Structure 1
Amino acid sequence: PEGGAALGRGFASCGALQRLELKLNNNELGEVGGAALAEGLEQCQKLLALDVGLRQTGIGDETGKALGRAVGACRGLTDLKLGLQSNEIGLWCAAALGRGIASCGAMQQLELGLFENKLGEVGGTALVEGLGQCQQLLALRLDLRWNDIGDDVKVQLHSQLEAMGLKEMHVTLY
C-alpha cells in the first residue's frame, strides 16, 4: 500500500504528463495502494495515452472507482489500456469506469482487460452504456470472461458494438 501511495503522490505532481505506461501486475498493491495510485493519476489531466497494468494486485471497487474518476478527468485521452484482470472488481468499479470512459470524447483506442472479476449484470450494463458514448472509438479490445454478466448484457453489448462501426474489435466473453 505504501508504494501505491508514494506513486500516487508522485503522479499528482506530473500535471503536464501526456503518456504513461505503468505495469504493477502480480504484486500486493491492495485496495489502499491502488486507490491512492489512482487518485494521483486523476491529477494528470493532460494525458493522451494511458496504459496501466494492475492484474492480480488485490484491488477492488474503491480502486476501480478512483480509476474511473481518473479516466474521466483526462478528457483528452485517445488511447486507454487498463489491465485489471483477476481482482475483486465489482459493479461499482464497472459503473465508474463506464462513466469515466464516456467522458473521454476523443477516445480512439480502448483496451479493457477485466476477466476474472465480479462485474455481474449491473456492472456489465454500466460498462456497455459507457462504451456507447465513445463516438470516436475506432479500435476496441474487451475481455469480460468469468464475470457472470449474463446473456442480456451480452446481447446489449453486441448491439451497441455493432452500431458503433468500429474498424477493429476483439471481444472475449464466456
Structure 2
Amino acid sequence: MKQNIKKTFYSIEEYLETDIDMQEIKLLILYLNKSKINDAIMSDLCNKLRESIDLYDLKLFLSENKFGQNSFSILGLELQNIVNLQSLLLDLKQNKLNNEKIKSLAETLGKCQKLESLILYIDQNQITNQGVEYLAFGLKRCLNIKTLEIDLSNIDIGSKNLNQLFFELKTCVNLTNLSLRLSQCNISSQRHINPFEGLRKFQNLKNLNLNLQCNQINDDQIVLLGIELGFIASLTSLFLGFYFNQISTSGYSNFIEGISNCKGLFTLKLYMGQNMIGNEDILLKDSFSKFQNLNNFIIDLSSNQFTLLNAMQLSYELKQSETLTSLALNMSSNKFGSEQTNKIIINLKKIKKLVNLQTYF
C-alpha cells in the first residue's frame, strides 16, 4: 500500500525543506498565511509542487500575504499544469487582490479541465463588480465542476452581476453543490433587475447555500428567489441566510409558497432574524402541506415583529406538514413573552410525524 498519500505543512520552510518523497502525495495541505511570499519564494513553492506528480487535491491557505508583482501569475501557471487536479481550495483573503489579479485567476481556473471541486475565499480584497464578472467568465469553463464554494462577502456586486454569475455558471451542468457567501454585497442596488434569475437553470443542483445577510433585500426580491428555487426539482438541501434585510410577513409567506414547489426538498434551513416578519397576519396558504419530502426544518425568526397572535398563526401553518420529523424554531426577541408560548408549543407538537422539537423564545 502506498504511503504519504496525504500530507500537511504549516510553513514555507517546513514544506521546502522536507525530505519526504513528494511523488506519492495525492492530497496536499499548505497553511502559508502571513508568510510574506515574494516572487522568488513563490517560484520555489511551485517548483516543489511540481514534484507531486499524482496530486489531485490541493488546499492552499495564503491569506494575509504580501505577494510579489509576479507571484500570482507564477502560481496560476503552476496550477493549470497540475494535470490531475480535481479538488482545489484557495484561501486568498486580505491580499489586496485587484480585478486584474482575479481575471488572471479566473483564466487559470478555466484551464483546470479536470477540476470537480473548488473552494475560493477572495473576500476582504480590492475587488469590484468587474472582478466578479471576470470570475464568472472563467468559471463557466469549468465544465466538470460538481462542488463550488465562493466567499464574495463585502464586494459591491449588485443585482446585475449576481444575475450574470448565475447565468454563466449554468454551463456547469454537473454542478450539484453550490455555496455562495454574499453578505454586504449590495444585492438590492438595482431594483428593476432580478438578481436571482438564472437559478432555475441549475437542474442537477442538490445542495444550495446562499448567505445573503445585510443586503437590504425586500419582499419583491425574496419572492423572486422563491419562484426561481421552485423550478429546481433536484434540490434536496437548502440553506439561506437573510439576517438584517427588509423582509416583511407577506414576503416571507410568498417565499415559502414559492419554495414549496421544490418537491424533493428534504432539509431546509432559514435564518431570517432581524427583519420585519410578523408585522401583519401570516397569510395562511397551507404551504407546508405542499412540501412532499421536507423532513428537517430549522428556522430562525428572532428579533422580528411577531405578536403572540401572529406566532400562533405560524404554528398553525407548520402544523399542516405531513412529513416533518425534526423542527427547530427560534422566535426569541419578538413582541410576546416566553410565558405566553405554551399554546404555540402545543400546536407544534401536533405535527403529524414530528419526533424532534426544539424551540427558543
Return the TM-score normalized by structure 2.
0.44
Q: Which residue of 1 aligns with 2:271?
A: 172
The amino acid across from 2:127 in the alignment is L
Residue deviations 1:124-151 (CA, integer Å, cap 9, x gap): 2221111101112111100123332443
Q: Which residue of 2 aligns with 1:52?
A: 150
1-side partners of 2:146 and 2:138: how far apart? Answer: 16
Q: Which residue of 2 aligns with 1:3?
A: 101
Q: 1:156/1:29 Cα in 2 relative to 1: closer, same or farther (>3 Å)?
A: same
SS in 2 for 1:169: strand
Q: Which residue of 2 aligns with 1:78?
A: 176
Q: Is the 8 A contact 2:226 2:257 kept in 1?
A: no
Match of 2:200 among 88, 102, 105: 102
The amino acid across from 2:101 in the alignment is G
Q: Is the 8 A contact 1:43 1:70 kept in 2?
A: no
Identity percentage of aligned residues: 22
2-side partners of 1:123 and 1:171: how far apart? Answer: 16
Q: Which residue of 1 aligns with 2:111?
A: 13
The answer to which of 80-89 and 122-131 deviates more is 122-131
Match of 2:257 among 159, 167, 174: 159
Structure 1 residue 4, shift from structure 2 partner: 1.6
SS in 1 for 2:120: strand
Q: Which residue of 2 aligns with 1:24?
A: 122
The amino acid across from 1:82 in the alignment is L
2-side partners of 1:113 and 1:135: how far apart? Answer: 21
SS in 1 for 2:179: strand
Ranked by relative contact order (alpha carbons within 8 Å, sequence separation 6 or more), the top structure is 1
Structure 1 spans left out of the alignment, 5+ residues: none
Q: Is the 8 A contact 1:121 1:153 kept in 2?
A: yes
Q: 1:45/1:120 Cα in 2 relative to 1: closer, same or farther (>3 Å)?
A: farther
2-side partners of 1:10 and 1:97: how far apart? Answer: 27
Q: CA RMSD in A?
A: 2.2
Q: Is the 8 A contact 1:20 1:49 kept in 2?
A: yes
Q: Which has the larger radius of gyration?
A: 2
Q: 1:68/1:163 Cα in 2 relative to 1: closer, same or farther (>3 Å)?
A: closer
1-side partners of 2:196 and 2:142: how far apart? Answer: 17
Q: Is the 8 A contact 1:98 1:128 kept in 2?
A: no
2-side partners of 1:73 and 1:18: how far apart? Answer: 14
Q: Which residue of 2 aligns with 1:33?
A: 131
Q: Is the 8 A contact 2:225 2:255 kept in 1?
A: no
Structure 1 residue 118, shift from structure 2 partner: 3.6
Q: Is the 8 A contact 1:62 1:93 kept in 2?
A: no
Q: Is the 8 A contact 2:226 2:256 kept in 1?
A: no
Return the TM-score normalized by structure 1.
0.86
Q: 1:124/1:53 Cα in 2 relative to 1: closer, same or farther (>3 Å)?
A: same
Q: Is the 8 A contact 1:94 1:127 kept in 2?
A: no
